[in-house]
Amino acid sequence: MSSRTVMFRGESYKVIAYPLAQIIGTDNCRRPCPTLWNIGLDPWAAYRQIVSGDIAQVREGVAVLEQSPRFRSMATTIQEDTQLQAIGLRSYRARSGVVDGVQQYEDRAALSYGNGRLFGVVLLEGRRQIAVADGEKASKTALTVDAVLMRLTREESYELSVIENDKRTEMDDLDWGLDFDRLLKTTNPDTNKLFTLKEVAKKRNKNYHWVRGRAALPYLPQGMLREITDWNKVNIDALCQTALRYKAGAKEVDQGETDPTAPIPVKVLTASMPSEDGDHSIVQVTAALAEAEVMPVPLPIEVQPKKRRTPMTLAEMGRLFAETRGGAARAAIAQCMKMTEEDAAEYAATVTK
């Protein structure tokens, strides 16, 4: 690969071809693929399988990543046009073992930004390994990823990922919630105490109440969160209110404010979730608050959609109008029929003959 230099945040960095196996983890604030996460699959576990070199593991990892339209699309783009933009890595030295009594170290990296590009390349690498194992014509040289290495602390790398992700594609509410919840458990260097909600809102330049609601989303049961495939179609205000109740319950258990010998309390909560046709339907959620050792996330629950009443035909409504004597009730039925009371009475007369 020809060497090139890029300017990033006012500094010059050399782009290098970095080995995939040396990228050990991630500082990125964003889930790499909500589509896979929603069905209980871990892209990073698949990544580790692909770089392991064990062909059986490689096949399993590729099968997982192939389920992501985003990763497939990115792999196609990189294959056709090459990787146009480098990913950002936080470099560090890690112990690799002891040889002749001397501690050995090796260079490793954690991902700061560039989820899609990294997983597009690793998917191509997995396909290459499978093709070689199956005797197909393919390169025997392992793929690398174009990257810039930065000397950052883990916290600096994480903060950089928040900035870069929000500039590229707006993070969804859960990604923001995970970020806010993480900050609330982090020490503010200015006060030497844990961040408060007000401080988090100021740091991220967001409204206090917007932050407060989304910071509670990670406390919702995993089963409920995985039901959400499009955050743009969710009644987020209602969902945040439900999440705040879950978070309050988790805090009570965590602080020992409940009797550990008492039965686990059950709360019936109402949340607005998207239905299959994209509308918002209210679902009743019965949640058992988990015991202290499995908090802060409550136990997974099964979300049961509220049963809808069987719709009435216009003729049935006309007959109901004719049988109803109350003035207000007749007016309500006429409104449902999208008629005036006079028109409804005339129509009711035709269907009751």
Show the domains of the chain with their CATH numbers: 4-165 (no CATH), 173-305 (1.10.10), 314-351 (no CATH)
pLDDT (tens digit, 9 = 90+) per residue, 179-192? 999 999 989 888 99
Predicted confidence at residue 274, as pLDDT, reads 39
CA distance 278 to 226: 16
Q: Among the listed ranges 115-129, 195-209, 272-286, 305-319, which one has the minimum average pLDDT value?
A: 272-286
Could you give the 3-state DSSP secondary structure of residue 176? Answer: helix
Q: In the Cβ-directed half-sphere of 2, how many Cα atoms lie within 13 Å?
A: 3
Mean per-residue pLDDT, 261-280: 38
Other CB atoms within a 10 A radius of the CB of residue 337 amount to 19
Q: Among the listed ranges 41-45, 97-101, 111-115, which one has the minimum average pLDDT value?
A: 97-101
What is the percent of the chain with per-residue pLDDT over 70, rounded to a whole number? Answer: 78
Instruction: For residue 34, give the nearest of 247, 296, 222, 278 by alpha carbon.
Output: 222
Which residues are CB-neighbours of 31 under 8 A, at least 6 positions away? 37, 174, 175, 178
Q: What is the DSSP secondary-structure string of 275-288?
A: -TTS-EEEEEEEEE
CA distance 25 to 288: 34
* Helix H or strand E segment including 68: none
Measure CA 154 to chain center: 21
Contact 234, 174 (CB under 8 A): no
Pair of tokens at residue 342? 């006079």
* Average pLDDT over the chain, rounded to an integer: 78
Predicted confidence at residue 3, as pLDDT, reads 61
Highest mean pLDDT among 77-81, 91-95, 203-207, 325-329: 203-207
Predicted confidence at residue 290, as pLDDT, reads 35
pLDDT (tens digit, 9 = 90+) per residue, 32-89? 888 888 788 899 999 999 999 899 999 999 999 999 998 999 999 988 877 668 889 9
CA distance 341 to 320: 13
Mean per-residue pLDDT, 252-262: 47
Q: Among the listed ranges 215-219, 274-278, 315-319, which one has the minimum average pLDDT value?
A: 274-278
DSSP class of 61: H
**Is a pLDDT exceeding 70 seen at residue 268?**
no
CA distance 17 to 147: 6
**Is a pLDDT exceeding 90 seen at residue 298?**
no
Contact 304, 264 (CB under 8 A): no
**Is a pLDDT exceeding 90 seen at residue 14?**
no
Report yes or no on whether pTM surpasses 0.85.
Answer: no
Q: What is the DSSP secondary-structure string of 195-234?
A: PPHHHHHHHHT--HHHHHHHHTGGGS-HHHHHT-S-GGGS
Predicted confidence at residue 7, as pLDDT, reads 65
Predicted confidence at residue 310, as pLDDT, reads 65
**Is a pLDDT exceeding 80 seen at residue 167?**
no
CA distance 308 to 328: 24
Predicted confidence at residue 258, as pLDDT, reads 45
Q: Among the listed ranges 40-54, 68-82, 105-119, 307-321, which one has the minimum average pLDDT value?
A: 307-321
Pair of tokens at residue 87? 């990913």
